[in-house]
Structure 1
Amino acid sequence: MPSYRFTAINPAGGLVRGVTEAGSEAEAVDFIRRQGNIPMRTDAASAGLGSGTFEALRRFEFSRSTLRRSEVAHFTRELAVMLGAGQDLDRALRFLDETAPSARVRTVVRSLRDQVRDGATLHEALGRHPGSFPRLHIGLVRAAEAGGNLAATLERIATLMERERALAATLTSAMIYPAMLTLAAVGAIVLLLTEVLPQFTPLFEQNGARLPASTQFLVDAGAIISSYGLLILVVLAGLGVLGWRLLRDGPARTRFDALVLRTPVLGGVLSEVLASRFTRTLGTLLLNGVPLIAAMGIVRDVIGNRAGLAAIDRGTEGAKSGAGLARTLGEAAIFPPRMIHLLRLGEETAQLGPMALRAAEIHEESTRIRVQRLVALLVPVITIVMGAAVAGIVSSLLLAMLSLNDLAQ
């Protein structure tokens, strides 16, 4: 039975460390809770030299001054647990310092604790690490400190970050198989063009014949790739960088982002992602006491689409003027109608925060379904296109072989 190292808080508020045997990590957590302790961290215990070496390699990290998003989410969740257990902020940060999983996290936590002990509030301390803690995080903590519900707010922040990570992971994992399939197919085509087809050229030259037109075209294409492949890649990369710089700012970027949102299949997925991020962040801010106008300003930080930003700015102006947030967002025609309807319902019932979170749940599920459909569509399309390309090359090979056979006769 595997062993698990754990760190927990006992009923007296003290830190407890130990090792327990359990069938799984979940069983180990249940055992810790049955003992009356609050589990903070559980890790599979390493055994032997190989495991120790692996653990050392796993913990090796290049020096960097900022925390990863996953580390910030984990820190936020643990701090919420500590404060919810009745610990004061200084003691909670001390425990997190002692249980930090890496030197980088320990450095940041220690800095936060030192600043808090010097009289800074938590949001002020977080604000001195802008590379690790986004403005959304700091704004929520500031509102929570004013409202006296810091532990609950930290729980919501951790949930928000974990949902964002889950959404990004869904999109990334869904695209892995189509990307690998495309890479393998392109590699096969390049191999046929640069290595297989050129083998037929000497045979035709020896017989004083010409290659069939289709075969000659592919042989020439393979020769260009062999001779100028690296240059072609450099030019394409340069064009990509140039396009990125041209679309990085200004009206062109806004028009491009709006165009992407209107593409038949991909646009639907991106629109759902945009809606889920907007509503999840807005709902979390509103439920933590952040005023609507201030919340809209913070929400801009999580929206990367310029057309979406323009719609949010328009919605903010509408909310200021009394025209209504949902109405002005709907006029922008960027977000899904379902999101607009739910926000309008939230405004009418004075439940904008809860309705925004409800909309986020709906659009996150819709994103998952749309991504599955997109992958289901992409895989056969890629297979058919690449299969047709390979079939065309093979048919040119067969045509060349038949031509050689005719010459031999």
Structure 2
Amino acid sequence: MPLFQYKGRNQRGEAVRGHIEAVSPDAVAAQLMNSGVIPIDIASTKGQTDVFAAIRAHWAESAQITMVDLILFSRQMYTLLKAGVPIMQALRGLRDSTQNLAMAKVIISISESLDTGLDLTAAMRRHPKVFSSLYVNMIQVGETTGSLQEVFMQLATYLEREKETRDSIKTATRYPTFVVAAIFIAIFIINLFVIPTFAKVYAGFKIELPLATKILIASSNFTVAYWQMILITVISAFFALRYYVRTPEGRYRWDKVKLGIPVIGKIVYKATLGRFARALAVMMKSGVPLVQGMTTVSRAVDNDYISDRIVQMRDGIERGDSIARTAAATGMFPPLVIQMIAVGEETGSVDELMFNVSDFYEREVDYDIKNLSAAIQPILIVFLSIVVFILALGVFLPMWDLVQVARKS
């Protein structure tokens, strides 16, 4: 944050001065008043800021707004509005108290937009990278119905569960990714350093090498001769794949492939269904029109393949079909979800049942992640066994032949 130099008088009338880090001079004045100091002069210390303060300011300006920042913002707005604090005063308080300079700048921008006569929805819509369409649509409903504080509470709860779901998916994919990467690195090192040593030993004997050994030596010779090209190819392929996944077509195909990965795909699928159910429940409970809500939910599931199916549901609902019938037509949702939607439509409580579905799948994801190691170990053991078996055949078969030759002699 910027560093400000201040002069003032305390409650005894004594002159005081010092330095304070804050977002703006107004924030400095508020801090001084809260501490019992009446500010007389507040000035920015440009040029006097030390190297460490400059580094801190640089990092603060480049900080990203995370989901945790949005959760804190939503919960604090709910608390302040519930206490009867006017929205402009609430925003000023959050602006002065937030530790993330990027978030503070967004709050300042929202305050300035409100000063010009815009409503909160329009002010937030100016920051699409910070506030998602689901967030903005719910704020719009809250402003229209006069239930803004309840909407902020619903958003805080939704974002907290969303963060838990994303963290669960990262946890589920981190372990197998690390293990598989370690295996391939080990194979690369064995080809580069271990097998050439055995190849030199075997080269001194006049025996016919087994096919497995010839394949290993040929693979090792290729790795030793072209290891630079192999590394360049692997790194280039990684960045090319990463770029392709960020394109609309690549993201769609990757999101579809993720659902079919053994063990991991099931967890990602359940987590996405839980996200869909909770987003739909939140939108319906907030009073967002169903067609508009389905469009927003399709963007909130964070999976383009399932998002495309939700858009198909929206198109079916626009034609007059029921939610359950359109969900069944996509072939994407299990009978549990379809049945709960059908019961909810009959009883008029789709939002409550969708909350139940979301809770069910989130518990399933937590259970699957806790048992992930037990589920994935057989696959990794089989893979490792095949690798070790091939290496053992290639390394020890020539030794067996040497023993046979020695016995005959």
Is the radius of gyration larger for structure 1 or structure 2? 2
For 2:221, give the aligned amino acid: A
Q: Aligned match of 1:330 in 320, 328, 331?
A: 328
Q: In the alignment, which residue of structure 1 is the partner of 2:11? A: none
For 2:59, give the aligned amino acid: E
Residue pair 1:346, 1:352 contacting (<8 A) in 2 also: yes
Q: In the alignment, which residue of structure 2 is the partner of 1:80? A: 78
* Residues 306-315 or 138-147, more deviating: 306-315
Q: In the alignment, which residue of structure 2 is the partner of 1:114? A: 112
Q: Aligned match of 1:270 in 259, 268, 271?
A: 268
* Residues 200-209 or 237-246, more deviating: 237-246
Distance in 2 of aligned mates of 1:55 and 1:211? 67
Q: Aligned match of 1:159 in 154, 157, 182?
A: 157
Within a 5 Å distance, the mapping from 1:35-184 to structure 2 comes to 61=59, 63-64=61-62, 67-184=65-182
For 1:206, give the aligned amino acid: G
Distance in 2 of aligned mates of 1:247 and 1:70? 24
Distance in 2 of aligned mates of 1:113 and 1:134? 19
Distance in 1 of aligned mates of 2:292 and 2:260? 29
* Cα deviation, residue 338, structure 1: 0.7
* Cα deviation, residue 221, structure 1: 0.9
- Residue segments in structure 1 that go unaligned for 5+ positions in a row: 1-13, 19-53
| Residues 180-201 of structure 1 deviation map (CA, whole Å, 9 limit, x = unaligned) | 2223222222222221111122
Within a 5 Å distance, the mapping from 1:355-370 to structure 2 comes to 355-370=353-368
Residue pair 1:277, 1:360 contacting (<8 A) in 2 also: yes
Find out whether 1:191 has 2:189 as its counterpart: yes
In structure 2, the CA distance between the partners of 1:233 and 1:347, relative to structure 1 (3 Å rule), is: farther
* Cα deviation, residue 264, structure 1: 6.6
Find out whether 1:386 has 2:384 as its counterpart: yes
- Residue segments in structure 2 that go unaligned for 5+ positions in a row: 1-29, 36-51
* Cα deviation, residue 157, structure 1: 0.7
Distance in 2 of aligned mates of 1:68 and 1:112? 18
In structure 2, the CA distance between the partners of 1:77 and 1:17, relative to structure 1 (3 Å rule), is: farther
* Cα deviation, residue 244, structure 1: 7.1
In structure 2, the CA distance between the partners of 1:260 and 1:182, relative to structure 1 (3 Å rule), is: closer
* Residues 186-195 or 395-404, more deviating: 395-404
In structure 2, the CA distance between the partners of 1:253 and 1:122, relative to structure 1 (3 Å rule), is: closer
| Residues 25-52 of structure 1 deviation map (CA, whole Å, 9 limit, x = unaligned) | xxxxxxxxxxxxxxxxxxxxxxxxxxxx
Distance in 1 of aligned mates of 2:34 and 2:337? 47
* Cα deviation, residue 385, structure 1: 1.1
Q: Aligned match of 2:209 in 205, 208, 211?
A: 211
Aligned residues: 360
In structure 2, the CA distance between the partners of 1:235 and 1:183, relative to structure 1 (3 Å rule), is: closer
For 1:83, give the aligned amino acid: L
Q: In the alignment, which residue of structure 2 is the partner of 1:37? A: none
Q: Aligned match of 2:349 in 334, 351, 357?
A: 351
In structure 2, the CA distance between the partners of 1:383 and 1:256, relative to structure 1 (3 Å rule), is: same
Q: In the alignment, which residue of structure 1 is the partner of 2:399? A: 401
Q: Aligned match of 1:231 in 208, 214, 229?
A: 229
For 1:333, give the aligned amino acid: G
Identity value in percent: 24
* Residues 233-242 or 145-154, more deviating: 233-242
In structure 2, the CA distance between the partners of 1:386 and 1:17, relative to structure 1 (3 Å rule), is: farther
For 1:335, give the aligned amino acid: F
Distance in 2 of aligned mates of 1:220 and 1:401? 18
For 1:286, give the aligned amino acid: M
What RMSD in Å do the two structures reach over aligned CA positions?
A: 3.3
In structure 2, the CA distance between the partners of 1:258 and 1:204, relative to structure 1 (3 Å rule), is: closer
Residue pair 1:271, 1:336 contacting (<8 A) in 2 also: no
For 1:272, give the aligned amino acid: K
In structure 2, the CA distance between the partners of 1:188 and 1:62, relative to structure 1 (3 Å rule), is: farther
Residue pair 2:299, 2:307 contacting (<8 A) in 1 also: no
Distance in 2 of aligned mates of 1:270 and 1:341? 21
Distance in 2 of aligned mates of 1:140 and 1:325? 21
Distance in 2 of aligned mates of 1:176 and 1:242? 18
* Cα deviation, residue 224, structure 1: 1.8
Residue pair 2:138, 2:286 contacting (<8 A) in 1 also: yes
Residue pair 1:274, 1:335 contacting (<8 A) in 2 also: no
Distance in 1 of aligned mates of 2:262 and 2:303? 17
* Cα deviation, residue 310, structure 1: 3.3
* Cα deviation, residue 60, structure 1: 7.0
Find out whether 1:299 has 2:297 as its counterpart: yes
* Cα deviation, residue 371, structure 1: 3.8
Distance in 2 of aligned mates of 1:278 and 1:65? 29
In structure 2, the CA distance between the partners of 1:163 and 1:181, relative to structure 1 (3 Å rule), is: same
Find out whether 1:376 has 2:386 as its counterpart: no
In structure 2, the CA distance between the partners of 1:17 and 1:115, relative to structure 1 (3 Å rule), is: same
In structure 2, the CA distance between the partners of 1:264 and 1:348, relative to structure 1 (3 Å rule), is: farther
* Residues 278-287 or 186-195, more deviating: 186-195
